[in-house]
Structure 1
Amino acid sequence: MDCTMSLLRTLMRTARMIRHTPRLADGLPIDDAVLLDAPDDRIGPALVAAALGEWRPAADLLAATRAAAEWENRDRYVMRLATFADARDEWLSAWLTQTPRDPDALVVRAELAVRRAWHSPARHERLREIGPLIDAAADSATSDPVPWRIALDHARGTHADHRAFEALWEQAVRRSSHHYGCHVAALRYLSAQWYGSHRECFDFAEQAAADALPGSLVQALPVRAAFAWLESGDTSSSVSQDRTDTATDLAIALSAGYPPGDPWPAEVRNLTAYVLVRRGRWQEALDQFRLIGPHATSFPWSRISSDPLGQFLDMRDGVRIEVASMTPLRTGLGEPTDH
């Protein structure tokens, strides 16, 4: 009898999947339309110019973000430019040669140096050597929080103690009290993987989210703390489970405040979808994939696969299958369900 019931349940699940999976593709871009870390309309031309060896568009873009105090955009663009320079840095070398004290060139140089040091077998030693580059970037633009975000990343790699971390954090929030990148860097330092604990990580994230401005991506910090907890494999604590679900609810609410397909919250939406999958909240995960649209991001998928875009697409398909398998065969008015 048990064997028969198990077979019936398997057949019913398969029938639901066959019936509903194609329909659940509505609102999801086809696989070929999904791009990984697609640049926005402002950084895109600067990257194209850099590929041709021209640095002035990047200089103009970063100068504009500094003049307008667009610190969130500035941080994102610095990271994108440094990532590109890691493979092709001739344009950055030319920029520094022409204007060696340009604060925008200096901050890209500092970000690039930290990235390269992190990937070095002698990471600790190399990170210690490049401290003066971060200092130069910070001194060249005293109101800019981005060098202090870089300094926080640097502190994590040099085994800075909590007192040193707190001094850097004070400098960062003095320049921009709600800067998302600085908060993310601090959260990483406080994670159990580095120099804190799961409780400390959640406490910091939840307090920052409570203090955040409406619509600020800082409200997504708790779901980043939840990701760190899930990634650690130590998922036995019911306290962390409850805090993870609360964090995910907050991230869902934040995501709902932005238009579908908006690139600005794309990474937060990708992360939220991943955490929802880990918590088995399939329908809500599918809702996030619809809001993501074509904007897949390397984080968090690169943490679980060397092919983040492929992982994103596979996860999206898997979520559709899970939702389909839970949907009654017949759901129309007056129609019987598969019960």
Structure 2
Amino acid sequence: MSLLRALLRASRMIRHAPRLAEGLPPDDAVLLDAPDDRIAPALVAAALGEYEPAAKLLATTRDAAEWESRDRYVMRLAYFAHSRGDWLSSWLATAPRDPDALTVKAELAVRRAWESPARAERLREIGPLIDAAAEATPGDPVPWRIALDHARGTHASHTAFGTLWEQAVRRSPHHYGCHVAALRYLSAQWYGSHRECFDFAEQAAADALPGSLVQALPVRAAFARLEDGTPAAGPLEDERTDAAATRAVALSAAYPAGDLWPAEVRNLTAYVLVRRGRWEEALEQFRLIGPCATSFPWNRFSEDPLDHFLDARGGVRIQVASMTPLRTGTRESGRAAH
């Protein structure tokens, strides 16, 4: 029987795998962390040593209170400056008190400190940089998101973290980046537990606005639980993980396929669905992701996140193919009629 099952599985894969590739871009068309149309010109200019497009973009997001986009762009520009920072140095030399340059500088400093073996000490040294960015943009939640990431690395107490959290949500109650920073602090990996992580995420998702990425916060809590690798997960945790994935699937469906905005949420949702063996739903997420692969979560398991993404996508397609009957019901009915 085991040989028969293996033969049937192979037959199903051969028959259905090509059809199930429909809607999935070829491997060489998938891009990792593709920039959107607004940040791309700023990155091109930064590569040439020019900071003006980045300055204009961040000033626009600040003036329009586009805090979610602003946070993404600050992180993207700081990531770029980590290896090519001449443009940021020129910007700061020209306008040392520019609130946008100060925010990118603070994000970059925190990123570099996190990579240091002396992380806590380095992070404590750069506290004044975050304070300067917050003072330069009083209504902006982004420096407070940076402060929350900073606090996690300096072993801030729950009370101290809570004070920073109050300042962050006072500026933007549903800011996704601040919620992610708080969730990380509350994770079992840091200063909380899986239960605290889920409780916070589920309440935040329930309070979130329609279409807000905060609605996907529970799937990040589910990922933290799965990443922790605790072998003795109870049925309640499994139930909460599945509910989180279902909520994230519903949020994903509200956005067009191939949309860059929910791309990271979709990549994360696909991973959690794979871990839960929900193969057909995972395949649908890969179709919605289209060419928009993101480093997270795949970089947690491989130094080549794009290759890991493609392997996971191919594996899901094979799983779905192996579960699909050799003949569809429609074809079977047609044969019977003859």
Q: Aligned partner of 1:197: which letter? A: S
- Separation (CA, whole Å) in 1 of partners of 2:79 and 2:321: 39
SS at match of 1:170: helix
The aligned residue for residue 19 of structure 2 is: 23
1:119 to 112, 115, 120: 115
- State percent identity of aligned pairs: 79
The aligned residue for residue 62 of structure 2 is: 66
Q: Give the TM-score, by structure 2 length.
A: 0.97
- Separation (CA, whole Å) in 2 of partners of 1:168 and 1:231: 27
The aligned residue for residue 310 of structure 2 is: 313
Task: Give 1:333 deviation, angstroms.
Answer: 1.4
- Separation (CA, whole Å) in 1 of partners of 2:62 and 2:28: 36
Q: Deviations over 1:111-155 (max 9, x none)?
A: 000000000111111000000000000000000000000000000
Q: Aligned partner of 1:165: which letter? A: F
Task: Give 1:166 deviation, angstroms.
Answer: 0.2
- Separation (CA, whole Å) in 1 of partners of 2:55 and 2:261: 22
Q: Aligned partner of 1:306: which letter? A: E
Q: Aligned partner of 1:291: which letter? A: L
In structure 2, stretches of 5+ residues that fail to align are: 334-338
The aligned residue for residue 336 of structure 2 is: none
1:289 aligns with 2:259: no
The aligned residue for residue 257 of structure 1 is: 254
In structure 1, stretches of 5+ residues that fail to align are: none
Matches within 5 A, 1:155-194: 155-194=151-190
Task: Give 1:332 deviation, angstroms.
Answer: 4.4
- Separation (CA, whole Å) in 2 of partners of 1:36 and 1:334: 40
Q: Aligned partner of 1:245: which letter? A: D
Matches within 5 A, 1:169-318: 169-235=165-231, 236-318=233-315
2:102 to 101, 106, 124: 106
Q: Deviations over 1:165-219 (max 9, x none)?
A: 0000000000000000000000000000000000000000000000000000000
The aligned length equals 332
- Separation (CA, whole Å) in 2 of partners of 1:76 and 1:134: 17
SS at match of 1:335: helix
SS at match of 1:234: coil
SS at match of 1:329: coil
Task: Give 1:68 deviation, angstroms.
Answer: 0.2
The aligned residue for residue 49 of structure 2 is: 53
- Separation (CA, whole Å) in 2 of partners of 1:136 and 1:238: 47
1:93 aligns with 2:89: yes
Q: Aligned partner of 2:238: which letter? A: Q
- Separation (CA, whole Å) in 2 of partners of 1:151 and 1:108: 13
- Separation (CA, whole Å) in 1 of partners of 2:330 and 2:261: 39
Q: Deviations over 1:36-81 (max 9, x none)?
A: 0000000000000000000000000000000000000000000000
1:145 aligns with 2:133: no
The aligned residue for residue 71 of structure 2 is: 75
- Separation (CA, whole Å) in 1 of partners of 2:307 and 2:40: 23
Q: Aligned partner of 2:236: which letter? A: V
Task: Give 1:237 deviation, angstroms.
Answer: 1.7
For the aligned residues, what is the CA RMSD?
0.7
- Separation (CA, whole Å) in 2 of partners of 1:39 and 1:260: 16
SS at match of 2:332: coil
SS at match of 1:177: coil
SS at match of 2:272: helix
Structure 1 runs (4+) deviating above 2 angstroms are none
Task: Give 1:234 deviation, angstroms.
Answer: 1.3
SS at match of 1:263: coil
